[in-house]
Copies of this chain bind each other. A is one copy, B any other.
Amino acid sequence: MLGLMQDWPLLCHRIIDYAAEQYGAREVVSRSIEGPIHRTTYTEVQARSRRVAQALERDGIGLGDRVGTLAWNTWRHLEAWYGITGLGAIYHTVNPRLFPEQIAYIVNHAEDRVMLTDLTFVPILEKLAGDLKTIERYVILTDAAHMPETSLPNAIAYEDWIADSDGDFAWRSFDENTAAGMCYTSGTTGNPKGVVYSHRSNVLHSMMVTAPNVLDLASTDTIMPVVPMFHANSWSLAFSAPMNGAKLVMPGAKMDGASIFELLDSERINFTAAVPTVWLMLLHHLEETGKTLPHLDRVAIGGSACPRSMIDAFQTKYGVEVVHAWGMTEMNPIGSAAGIKPAYAHLEGSDKLDIQETQGYAPFTVEMKITDDEGTPLPWDGKTFGRLKVRGPGVSRTYFKGEGGEILDDHGYFDTGDVATIDPNGYMKITDRSKDVIKSGGEWISTIELENLAVGHPDIAEAAVIGVAHPKWDERPLLIVVPKPGSDPRADDILSFFEGKIAKWWMPDDVAFVDEIPHTATGKIQKMALRDQFKDYRLPAADVAE
């Protein structure tokens, strides 16, 4: 027997309709790519997004077609998302930080038919255009006055493109499971794989993050998503800010400390979100200038683990509460946030930081477990670590075109590729990537934990830990270090530095000194390259054990 409530599909365009109806005058402020600060409202954004839908339809775009965007966070990008999804087409956010050949791969793989691009990326696209066979039209997100000379085929300035439409457009209606957005995730091996968000997953996720326990979003907030729309849906903020009637501030292309500070200050932003790198730049800027953050209440930090010192600096020095969060492109993207549960409400100082340093707990609609390699669930004791797996309406069930094959376990959980502990109160802490964790005699050793300890040594500039084959224990840890300039540390001195800080069997079997550790384009240690470099390395005790 079915319930007798109305069929009201969760569609993205309902969000901008709601914002326009209930919070029409609320501002959307952007740093434009052309330079000046631009001010508009939800009423205007909604009206112009309908014109985007009309322009797309005039270009032959309809239900299920992919529309690429290579763009920073601005009002035009926001309008484009709602226009695209309101037509039933799919926004495909392309990360401009990818290598050009990766951009070409994913645009072709997604079969994008139109590309919306900021001025910034016109030169890249001009070089790639010959390879982008499916793109029929390039829309430059600017006006006629700023339109560049370009070799891009069928190019038009966004303002001219939508000027021919009158905005008299009724949003299309379709099943809430219809695809709304795409984002490719670039693994360390193989080609990038497409994640396809649905209208339902975007809307549910936005309602979920609204909760006081998660991001706590209200109409009285002024929110700046520094995290880009091309980076996992800007953590939902392009949806959840209008859904809650918050004022929205878009930072455009400038994410340096001075530019971010300027907006935080002039727009009186009280909530913002970005990766640690952005906040490092901001904190440097504050230290250099002696400025403070009187308007900012909360900052969400995620994308990579937030250093403890950063949480402490925001909270102690600037009075800004940190919400450490974790998510993935394969999720919508937020999977956990480290708000303080009642069980930990009494904690202060260092004890509170211990909790905030974790990636937090799963909100309602995210199910989480850790398992061993065989899939058996492991206890939530804060010590045992295992493969982190997630399930829920905002988690991928497969990649676009089935790339990568089956990705869920027998119970429908997605393996995140992370290794984590979960404490008795549900707080999850990532200890490693599952391809990096060292398996020694059936037990797991966290390379990240060893590396974090090692860089605390006064003579070590950078450290990496990898597993090296061992005849008795399968794998044992090898510590690879780059000494600080002018220092010449000895292996046994470094190892004695670990004593008492880790379990005895976690002790690296040896230390290798190198001049440089290889990094990826985004600054992460290339463990695969290191494993390759040290594949013939013989640990000192290995001969004895044989």
| B-chain residues with CB within 8 Å of residue A61 when the two chains form the complex | none
Which residue on chain B has the smallest CB distance to residue A221?
B212
Which residues 1-36 of A sit at the B interface, judged by CB distance below 8 A? Answer: 1-8, 10, 14-15, 18, 21-23, 25-26
Contact in complex: A397, B177 (CB < 8 Å):
no
| B-chain residues with CB within 8 Å of residue A10 when the two chains form the complex | 393
- The stretch of A76-84, A93-101, A307-315, A338-346 in contact with B is A338-346
Query: CA A414 – CA B8 in complex, angstroms?
Result: 13
> A395 near B: Cβ within 8 Å?
yes
> A394 near B: Cβ within 8 Å?
yes
Contact in complex: B199, A3 (CB < 8 Å):
yes
Contact of A3 among B25, B180, B211, B345 (CB under 8 A): B180
Query: CA A2 – CA B90 in complex, angstroms?
Result: 10
Point out which of A1, A14, A175, A392 has the most chain B C-beta atoms below 10 A from its C-beta: A1
Contact in complex: A2, B178 (CB < 8 Å):
yes
Contact of A396 among B1, B4, B14, B178 (CB under 8 A): B4
> A505 near B: Cβ within 8 Å?
no
Contact in complex: B178, A397 (CB < 8 Å):
no
Contact with B along A187-219 (1 / 0, CB 8 A): 000000001111111001001101111001111
Contact of A5 among B197, B208, B340, B343 (CB under 8 A): B197
Min CB distance, A41 to chain B, in Å? 12
Min CB distance, A143 to chain B, in Å? 30
Question: Can you report 25 A-B residue pairs in the complex whose CB atoms are below 8 A from each other?
Answer: A1-B64, A2-B177, A2-B179, A3-B198, A4-B179, A4-B396, A6-B408, A7-B397, A8-B395, A22-B341, A22-B361, A22-B426, A25-B343, A204-B207, A207-B207, A207-B208, A207-B211, A211-B211, A211-B217, A211-B244, A212-B216, A213-B219, A213-B244, A213-B245, A245-B341
